[in-house]
Structure 1
Amino acid sequence: MSLYLCVDCGGSKTSAVIANSAGEIIGRGIGGPSNCTYLTVDAFLSAITVAISEALKTCSSPPSVDPLPLPPPSELAFAKVWFGVSGADSPAAIAAITPGISKLLGIPEGPRLAVANDTHLLAAPLRMHHDVGHAVAVIGGTGSIAVSFSGDASGALTELGRIGGWGWILGDEGGGYDVGREAVRQVMLAHDRASVMASPAKSMLHDKLVERFALGDIMEILGTVHLADPVANAAVAADTPHYLTVPREKRLSSLAPIVFECAFQHGDALAMSVLRTSVGKLADEIAVLLGDATDAAPRLIKAKDSVVCFGGSLVGIEAYRKLLLDDLASRGHAFRYVEFVDDCAAVGARALAMAGKS
């Protein structure tokens, strides 16, 4: 039995999916965060080990109660493996983790083992659209990145260009952190403007942030946002608010659901302004990859001849995705096809199985 393993390594979780030669999903497993930029190699390998072992449990007959050891037994050996790793943004980053993956799975480095950035998994739907030769993979979750690809008849992907994926300190435009940061910025800006106005505008987003952080006045939010990250393994009092027990990044990225609720469920004008601003920044980045190819920029691609493949919690919300697509279309970048991939690991595993048939 030929088995195909695809592992989607993200900043929030690791998802491992196993498909058989018919492309049927026969195993799934979940592990902890596995963004290789933020973790040591050992911590990365620990996260993927949990996910792959859990996926293998369901592939044995009968299903195993305990996680199977790795490398897997011969009857469950993998014909091909595809890793899409968040944070694997350079050859050096890929080279650092590939030997450990090879040893873990008992697969030599080479054609059976593909390790790339997680956007490569997201571009797998390009195989489904034979009348276009290019794809743009856009991740919009806690962070963001966009990567353009070309594809050939065999289904192989060639990366053309990329923009973003720099992490929350330097970028992640249009992602959850950016939305949360922009929400605080615009609420604070509205507060400052109100200081010279007779009748300041009301905002649900303002009230929700006051409630979220239990503030007496919106200006108190500055102390909460800038408070240092909690000390690891330090004792925490039982009555400590949750937002003070998480890093600063999470304090802001966790505000995104509040912004979406205010904007899309209640039509709050300030919340809509936040989302349009964040969407605009992500559209700015995606547009870097698009246009008519020239001698000076030979790897630009045309949206009208491409499929855009979205992945991530924020762009998974249709109303937010539409804001982004409308913004791009207003710039002359309307894509031929639009796909949202909510299960990259499963799509990748099926793609491996399809390639195994050819």
Structure 2
Amino acid sequence: MSLYLCVDCGGSKTAVAICDASGTIVGRALGGPSNYTYIGLQSFASVISATVGQALMSCCSPPATSPVSLPPASRLFHAAWFGISGVDSPAAVAAITPEMSKLLNIPVGPHLVVANDTQLLASPVRLHPEISSAVTVISGTGSICVAYRETDGVLQEMGRVGGWGWILGDEGGGFHVGREAVRQVLWEHDRASVTGKPAATSPLQTRLLEHFGLADIMDILTVIHLPDDSQNVFPPRDDQVVFVQPREKRLSALSPLVFKAAFEDGDPLALRVLGTCADTLASQIETLLSLNDDNPRGIKAQECVISFGGSLAGVEAYRQLILSALAQKGHIFRFIEYIDDAAASGAIGLAAAGLS
């Protein structure tokens, strides 16, 4: 039986999917974090070995009761595809590929793909034979956009925008949404101080005050700017969980509140925040696109699939804000996908590639 392996390596978990030649998933497993930049090559290989071994348990008949070891001299997989967060350079790919080749006994070449995790989102291009291009968009805690074109069964990266992390970017992701929410609420407060009229109370502001246990919105400045792991909480409160979080998390954790205020409460202020973030992300996506033939590396939206991933993009109403902003710029996509299981989608796409 020909088996196809896909591994989605992230900062919080490792997801493994194994399918047969027909695209039927026959093995699954979840493991620990495997962001290559954060844990290094040795730990990365250890996590992969353990998690793939767990996934092979369910491929056995009857299922094994303990993780299956990967025999060094045996080739169990016809092909493997690794989508790895933290792999952003040819040097990183060059370092990982020999280790995975040795681990799985798959020769370095077309049957062993090592790439950034965004590439897994391009797998739907293999399920739509009438197209050969994909634009992948991750909008979770952070964000990144990448364009791909498939040639002779190989996905070639045509351009990348974002993925710089919360200090430098992550537009349209959770950190950006949380930051923009605080900025918009503070702006309403500042504008009221100039007009002399009290700022209108909004569901978004109410949710932010309740989240941080504050009575005055200006106290949020102290909360947001507290150093990481600060023990000096103002105003004092018993529950200090939100304050001992890193500053990045203090802001990105606000995004669910913004979504609730926007889509459950119908708060115009929260909707404006999400519109701002969606427009910014749409502008980054537009950088990868072309309306004519003046840029040979540009992708034409009407000839490709846009494939979303990440928790924020998983909210359909937010995806529609992004797509509407792109449509206003003249970019309407042939196909639209949301992938909540990149490992399974990648494994199925790998089987569909028809590697001989």
The answer, yes or no, to whether TM exceeds 0.5 is yes
The residue that corresponds to 1:28 in the other structure is 28
Give CA deviations for 1:50-105 in whole Å, capped at 9, x if unaligned. Answer: 4323212211232222222235784x711111001122111012223333333333
Using the alignment, how far apart are the partners of 2:46 and 2:178 within structure 1? 31
CA shift in 2, pair 1:240/1:137, >3 Å: same
The residue that corresponds to 2:310 in the other structure is 312
Q: What is the percentage of aligned positions where both structures have the same residue?
A: 57
The residue that corresponds to 1:81 in the other structure is 80
Using the alignment, how far apart are the partners of 2:142 and 2:193 within structure 1? 34
Task: Give, in angstroms, the shift of residue 293 of structure 1.
Answer: 5.2
The residue that corresponds to 1:334 in the other structure is 332
CA shift in 2, pair 1:323/1:8, >3 Å: same
Amino acid of the residue matched to residue 327 of structure 1?
Answer: A
CA shift in 2, pair 1:248/1:65, >3 Å: farther
Provide the secondary structure at the position in 2 that maps to 1:149. Answer: strand
Using the alignment, how far apart are the partners of 2:177 and 2:123 within structure 1? 28
Amino acid of the residue matched to residue 173 of structure 2?
Answer: G
Provide the secondary structure at the position in 1 that maps to 2:322. Answer: helix
Task: Give, in angstroms, the shift of residue 357 of structure 1.
Answer: 6.5
Equivalent residues of 2:127, 2:352 under 8 A apart: no
Provide the secondary structure at the position in 1 that maps to 2:39. Answer: coil
Using the alignment, how far apart are the partners of 1:251 and 1:41 within structure 2? 30
Using the alignment, how far apart are the partners of 2:287 and 2:162 within structure 1? 10
Q: 1:352 aligns with which of 338, 350, 353?
A: 350
Moved more, 36-45 or 77-86: 36-45
Provide the secondary structure at the position in 2 that maps to 1:146. Answer: strand
CA shift in 2, pair 1:41/1:187, >3 Å: farther
1:188 is aligned to 2:182: no
CA shift in 2, pair 1:190/1:71, >3 Å: farther
The residue that corresponds to 1:229 in the other structure is 228
TM-score, normalised via structure 1 length: 0.90
Moved more, 55-64 or 177-186: 55-64
The residue that corresponds to 1:235 in the other structure is none
Equivalent residues of 2:291, 2:331 under 8 A apart: no
CA shift in 2, pair 1:71/1:240, >3 Å: farther
Task: Give, in angstroms, the shift of residue 157 of structure 1.
Answer: 1.6
Equivalent residues of 1:227, 1:248 under 8 A apart: yes
Moved more, 260-269 or 134-143: 134-143
The residue that corresponds to 2:142 in the other structure is 143
Over the aligned positions, Cα root-mean-square deviation in angstroms equals 2.2
The residue that corresponds to 2:99 in the other structure is 100
Give CA deviations for 1:123-171 in whole Å, capped at 9, x if unaligned. Answer: 111122222232111111111111112224x543221111111111111
Provide the secondary structure at the position in 1 that maps to 2:159. Answer: strand
Using the alignment, how far apart are the partners of 2:250 and 2:299 within structure 1? 37
Task: Give, in angstroms, the shift of residue 287 of structure 1.
Answer: 0.5
The residue that corresponds to 2:235 in the other structure is none
Using the alignment, how far apart are the partners of 2:222 and 2:72 within structure 1? 51
The residue that corresponds to 1:66 in the other structure is 66
Q: 1:175 aligns with which of 156, 173, 176?
A: 173
Task: Give, in angstroms, the shift of residue 13 of structure 1.
Answer: 2.0
Equivalent residues of 2:179, 2:252 under 8 A apart: yes
Moved more, 240-249 or 175-184: 240-249
Number of corresponding residues: 349
Equivalent residues of 1:126, 1:133 under 8 A apart: yes
Equivalent residues of 2:304, 2:333 under 8 A apart: yes
Give CA deviations for 1:235-254 in whole Å, capped at 9, x if unaligned. Answer: xxxx5532234322122111
Which residues of 2 match residues 290-309 of structure 1 at below 5 A?
290-292=289-291, 294=293, 297-309=295-307
CA shift in 2, pair 1:115/1:224, >3 Å: same
The residue that corresponds to 1:41 in the other structure is 41
The residue that corresponds to 1:253 in the other structure is 252
Moved more, 93-102 or 12-21: 93-102
The residue that corresponds to 1:234 in the other structure is none
Equivalent residues of 1:30, 1:50 under 8 A apart: no
Using the alignment, how far apart are the partners of 2:298 and 2:56 within structure 1? 41
The residue that corresponds to 2:108 in the other structure is 109
Equivalent residues of 2:127, 2:349 under 8 A apart: no
Using the alignment, how far apart are the partners of 1:242 and 1:99 within structure 2? 43
Equivalent residues of 1:13, 1:30 under 8 A apart: yes
Task: Give, in angstroms, the shift of residue 227 of structure 1.
Answer: 2.1
CA shift in 2, pair 1:293/1:330, >3 Å: closer
Moved more, 317-326 or 10-19: 10-19
CA shift in 2, pair 1:190/1:39, >3 Å: farther
Provide the secondary structure at the position in 1 that maps to 2:42. Answer: helix
Using the alignment, how far apart are the partners of 2:9 and 2:70 within structure 1? 18
Moved more, 102-111 or 119-128: 102-111
Equivalent residues of 1:21, 1:357 under 8 A apart: no
1:56 is aligned to 2:60: no
CA shift in 2, pair 1:290/1:38, >3 Å: same
Moved more, 134-143 or 39-48: 39-48
